[in-house]
Amino acid sequence: MDFSSDTSAPAHPAVLEAMARVNSGTEPSYGNDSVSKHLREVLARTLETEDFEFWLCASGTASNALALSCFCPPTGAVLCHEESHIARDERGAPEFFSGGGKLQLLGGKGAQIDETALRQALAAIDHGFVHETPAHVLSLTNLTESGTAYSRETLAHYAALAREAGLTVHLDGARIANALVNTGASLAEMSWQAGIDVLCLGLTKTGAVGCEIIILFGEARKKAPELRARAKRAGHMPPKMRYLSAQALAMLDGGLWLDLAATANQRAKQVADMLCKHPGTELLHAVQGNEIFVRLDNKVADALRQAGASFYPWLEGSYRLVTNWKTGEDTVERLSKLVV
C-alpha cells in the first residue's frame, strides 16, 4: 500500500526486457547508436511529425533544467506556477543551469496558472527597462503538481499568448501520459500542435527505469547543438545512450506508456472514491490523473498508516496519495476495509 510516489514503483518488465535485448555487441556511444536511431523513427510516429530534435536524460530535473537553460538567458526569467516542480522541488537547478535566470512565480488554482496573472506578467515585459527581469519562457506542467490536467485548448491558448509576447513555451511532462489519458488528447495535440516549443516527456514515473526525453520542435530545433553542449557540460551526456533509448522504445512503441498511465489513473479514481465514502474526507483538487490531494479524518489517516499504507503529508494538514502502474485492485480493496 505504497502511495508515496510513482517513482517508488518498479519498472515495467517490458522495459527491462528491452534493455536486455539491446545488451549485446558494441554500439557507437553518446546517442549515435542504432537503438537511438530507431527511437527517432518511433518518436516521429508518436509525435506525428518529423520536425523535432531530441535528447535523453535520466531525471526530470535534469531535463527541465537543461531545456530551460537553452531558452532563458542569465538576465531573463521563466514564468511558471508558484507550485511548479521547477520552482519548489529542483533545488535551484533551472536557475543554476541557466547561469542565474530567474523564476517568476504566478498563482492559480489546482497548480494551473491563472489567465489574468499570465496576461499581466506578459504585458509587463519590458526588455528596455534594466531594473526588471524580462520573461523569456513560459513553463507549464501537465499533469500539474496538484494532479489536475490542463485541457489541450487551455494549453494552446496560454502558449499562443506567450508566443505573441515573444516567449518560448516549455512543457514539463513528467506525468504527461496521465494528462493525455485523462483529456483524450494525443501527444501531438498536447505538444507542438498546441504551440509547445520544448517538451520534457517523462517516462520514469509512468514505468521506465529512468528515461526522460527533451524534445525541441520547429524553430526551437536550432537550439539542438546548444542543448547537446549544455548536456555535456552538465554531465548529462549518457555514454551508453542505447539503454535509455531502449526504455523509451519499450514504452512508446505499441502504446504501453498510455496503458500504464490509464491503470494508474483508474486506481487513483478508485482510491479517491473509496476515501470519499468517509464523511470526513475532503478532496482538494479534482482527481484527473494518478495523484490525490485530500484532507482526511485523523482516525482514517492513522488507521491507514497503522495498516502499513504510506503517503506524504502535504500542504496545510492535507495528504498526497500517488498511484502507479503496479497499484493493484487488491490494494484498493485492502484500503477500503480501513476506511470505515
Ligand X SMILES: Cc1ncc(COP(=O)(O)O)c(C=O)c1O
Interaction site with ligand X (CB under 6 A): 59-61, 64, 85, 141, 145, 172, 174, 204
Q: In this complex, which beta carbon is closest to ligand X, that of residue 86 or of residue 161? A: 86
16: left (phi over 0), alpha (psi -120 to 50) or beta: alpha
Q: In this complex, which beta carbon is closest to ligand X, that of residue 314 or of residue 336? A: 314
> Which one, of 94, 89, 105, 17, lies nearest residue 62 by Cα?
94
Rounded to the nearest whole angstrom, what is the least distance from the CB of residue 213 to ligand X in the complex?
Answer: 12
Q: CA 60, 63, 69, 71 torsion: positive or negative?
A: negative
Rounded to the nearest whole angstrom, what is the least distance from the CB of residue 144 to ligand X in the complex?
Answer: 8
Q: In this complex, which beta carbon is closest to ligand X, that of residue 125 or of residue 248? A: 248
Q: What is the DSSP letter of 116?
A: H
Instruction: Decide if 187 contacts 258 (C-beta within 8 A).
Output: no
Q: In this complex, which beta carbon is closest to ligand X, that of residue 125 or of residue 140? A: 140
Rounded to the nearest whole angstrom, what is the least distance from the CB of residue 148 to ligand X in the complex?
Answer: 12
User: Which stretches within 29-175 are classed as H helix?
Assistant: 34-47, 60-69, 85-88, 93-97, 115-123, 152-164
Rounded to the nearest whole angstrom, what is the least distance from the CB of residue 314 to ligand X in the complex?
Answer: 13
Rounded to the nearest whole angstrom, what is the least distance from the CB of residue 65 to ligand X in the complex?
Answer: 9
Closest residue to ligand X, judged by C-beta, is 60
Rounded to the nearest whole angstrom, what is the least distance from the CB of residue 15 to ligand X in the complex?
Answer: 16
Q: In this complex, which beta carbon is closest to ligand X, that of residue 59 or of residue 265? A: 59
Rounded to the nearest whole angstrom, what is the least distance from the CB of residue 173 to ligand X in the complex?
Answer: 8
**CA 198, 155, 165 angle in degrees (round to 5)?**
70
Q: In this complex, which beta carbon is closest to ligand X, that of residue 62 or of residue 301? A: 62
Instruction: Decide if 256 contacts 264 (C-beta within 8 A).
Output: no
DSSP structure string for 133-172: --EEEEEEESS-TTS----HHHHHHHHHHHHHTT-EEEEE
> Which one, of 241, 114, 203, 118, lies nearest residue 169 by Cα?
118
Residue listed under C-alpha cell 507549464: 140
The answer to whether the bond into 143 is cis (omega within 30° of 0) is yes
- Helix, strand or coil for residue 199? strand
Rounded to the nearest whole angstrom, what is the least distance from the CB of residue 88 to ligand X in the complex?
Answer: 10
Q: In this complex, which beta carbon is closest to ligand X, that of residue 85 or of residue 170? A: 85
* CA pair distance 195, 265, nearest whole angstrom: 26
Q: In this complex, which beta carbon is closest to ligand X, that of residue 134 or of residue 210? A: 210
Q: In this complex, which beta carbon is closest to ligand X, that of residue 204 or of residue 331? A: 204
* CA pair distance 156, 324, nearest whole angstrom: 28
Helix (H) / strand (E) containing 213 = strand 212-217
Rounded to the nearest whole angstrom, what is the least distance from the CB of residue 62 to ligand X in the complex?
Answer: 7
